[in-house]
Amino acid sequence: MDKFFAKFANGAAHVAGTPIVFLACVVLVLAWGASGPFFDYSENWQLVINTSTTIITFLMVFLIQNTQNRDGAAVQTKLDELIRSSSADDIFMGIEKLTDKELEALHDRCEQMAKDSAVVLQKTKAERAKRATKPGTHRHSA
């Protein structure tokens, strides 16, 4: 059942996102609007579009959410594998399960490490520039 629903949800979300389906929906709404005078803009005429759009929206929310949940889980799994197989800090694996406060603390840590790296980089650049301007030093080009 899970596999069937996953295939169905992916297929429905894919089809619903195509330009032809969007265009068909626009044509349907225009046809409904144009039919108003024939039905004297009655409550039943209004009820048709309201009920139709509500049902479609209700069902599509669940299909799209299911697709996004699976896509998100797949991306997280891929990122975790990249982290695991690299020299990156393993602390980043599974961080999507942390609380907002824990995520903020980890983000702050990363920002501080980036600032520290920028300071070291600036010092290195300044040292290289100083060496390059010393008398008697020659830069050789390859």
Q: Which pLDDT tens digit goes with each residue over 112-125?
A: 999 999 999 999 99
Q: 52-78: per-residue pLDDT in tens?
A: 999 999 999 999 899 999 999 999 999
Indicate whether 139 pLDDT > 60.
no
pLDDT of residue 13: 87
Indicate whether 136 pLDDT > 90.
no
Whether residue 3 contacts residue 63, with contact meaning beta carbons closer than 8 Å, is answered with no
Indicate whether 24 pLDDT > 70.
yes
DSSP string, 39-92: GTT-HHHHHHHHHHHHHHHHHHHHHHHHHHHHHHHHHHHHHHHHHHTSSS-GGG
Confidence category of residue 10, pLDDT binned at 50, 70, 90: confident
Indicate whether 81 pLDDT > 80.
yes
Confidence category of residue 137, pLDDT binned at 50, 70, 90: low
Distance between CA atoms of 102 and 130, rounded to whole angstroms?
A: 42
Distance between CA atoms of 46 and 86, rounded to whole angstroms?
A: 59
Average pLDDT over residues 85-109: 88
Mean pLDDT of the chain, nearest integer: 89
